[in-house]
């Protein structure tokens, strides 16, 4: 037992070191990305200085400040961010149905597990709550990540389209609506929303600020900043937008190369993650006695816990290595 404890402590320390290094590396990459976008933004300001003094927005377009004065501002911001994400995904009208479906699935799974234990009610209630939170978070973040991925993939094309329309002499207030007609997906919906608010007479600055708050994508927010500065100070907007689109395409190409390099490791993570549940399901069907031993006997529970911890630490180390490369 001592050897097992020593191995677990060693693996935990190793995973912690990898986690710290991966986090610091990711922070450095984010800082480099911000510097590149800031350089592009400074070019816009330099081009606009000879036309008129730059007047920055009163509120930051980079974050959604809501002047919340409660005891838990971080929790409130997270709640507001999730609420806006649900609205962007179009889940607001179906949130009760979706939550009920996830709750039912969680209850069935927890009841199935609780039936195999001596504490059916406690296991079912606790398991239902934990599974509901886990499944809800997984479904939301996975869908929202796909939404942002689709939005980011369409952003360079949209920026190029807006740049071409502006070169033709069309004002930016009209260019967003025209560009949205040639696009599909979430970005087209966002540009159409901007066009609708502009037609209602809302100032461009306010519309772009609200749009930047809705879309938690750094590239999109810098796009909004560029449009605001250009609208207030002038400058060669089309040239700046074309440079921004080229920068985004270069970053996307680099990310695709990284994805190709790490595809084997990411596939291994998925396979290993499905291995333990698959083996348990096979044992439940083909060897019910062995499955009963694992989930009820103290020795079986130790073996099952050791296997779960080992697989989890292995997945964590592999995931951190992949994240470090990315």
pLDDT in tens, 207-251: 888 888 878 788 888 888 888 888 777 667 888 888 888 888 888
**Whether 77 contacts 91, CB under 8 Å:** no
Q: Taking Cα atoms as reference points, which of 233, 231, 243, 224 lies closest to residue 172?
A: 231
> What's the pLDDT tens digit per position in 253-297?
887 887 777 777 777 777 777 777 788 778 877 887 877 787 777
How far is the C-alpha of 230 from the C-alpha of 224, rounded, in Å? 10
Q: Is the pLDDT of residue 42 over 70?
A: no
How far is the C-alpha of 319 from the C-alpha of 168, rounded, in Å? 48
Q: Which helix (H) or strand (E) holds 288?
A: helix 288-296
Name the burial class of residue 165, with classes exposed (0-12), middle (13-18) and buried (19+) by CB atoms within 10 angstroms of its CB.
Answer: buried
Provide CB contacts within 8 A for 149, sequence distance 6+: none
Six-digit token pair at 314? 């292995």
Q: What's the residue count for the chain?
A: 326
pLDDT at residue number 57: 39
How far is the C-alpha of 326 from the C-alpha of 314, rounded, in Å? 19
Q: Helix, strand, or coil here: 174?
A: helix
Out of 5-19, 46-60, 193-207, 289-303, pick the least confident. Answer: 46-60
Percent residues over pLDDT 90 in the chain: 0
pLDDT band at 171 (very low <50, low <70, confident <90, very high): confident
- Helices (H), strands (E): how many in the chain? 12, 0
Q: Is the pLDDT of residue 22 over 60?
A: no
């Amino acid at each position: 037992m001592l050897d097992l404890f020593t191995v677990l402590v060693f693996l935990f320390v190793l995973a912690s070191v990898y986690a710290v290094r991966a986090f610091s590396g990711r922070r450095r990459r984010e800082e480099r990305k911000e510097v590149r976008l800031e350089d592009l933004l400074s070019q816009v300001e330099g081009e606009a200085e000879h036309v008129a003094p730059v007047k920055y927005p009163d509120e930051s377009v980079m974050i959604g400040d809501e002047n919340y004065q409660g005891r838990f501002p971080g929790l409130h911001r997270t709640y507001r961010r999730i609420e806006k994400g649900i609205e962007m995904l179009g889940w607001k009208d179906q949130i009760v149905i979706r939550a009920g479906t996830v709750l039912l699935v969680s209850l069935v799974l927890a009841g199935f597990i609780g039936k195999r234990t001596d504490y059916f009610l406690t296991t079912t209630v606790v398991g239902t709550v934990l599974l509901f939170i886990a499944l809800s978070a997984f479904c939301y973040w996975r869908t929202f990540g796909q939404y942002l991925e689709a939005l980011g993939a369409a952003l360079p094309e949209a920026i190029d389209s807006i740049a071409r329309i502006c070169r033709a002499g069309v004002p930016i207030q009209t260019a967003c609506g025209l560009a949205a007609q040639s696009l599909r997906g979430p970005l087209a919906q966002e540009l159409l929303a901007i066009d609708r608010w502009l037609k209602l007479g809302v100032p461009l600055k306010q519309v772009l600020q609200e749009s930047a708050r809705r879309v938690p994508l750094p590239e999109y927010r810098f796009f909004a900043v560029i449009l605001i500065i250009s609208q207030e100070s002038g400058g060669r907007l089309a040239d700046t937008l074309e440079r921004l689109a080229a920068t985004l395409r270069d970053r996307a190409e680099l990310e695709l190369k990284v994805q190709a390099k790490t595809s084997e490791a990411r596939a291994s993570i998925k396979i290993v993650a499905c291995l333990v549940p698959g083996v348990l399901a096979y044992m439940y069907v083909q060897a019910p006695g062995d499955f009963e031993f694992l989930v009820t006997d103290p020795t079986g529970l130790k073996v099952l816990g050791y296997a779960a911890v080992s697989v989890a630490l292995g997945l964590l180390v592999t995931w951190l290595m992949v994240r470090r490369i990315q």
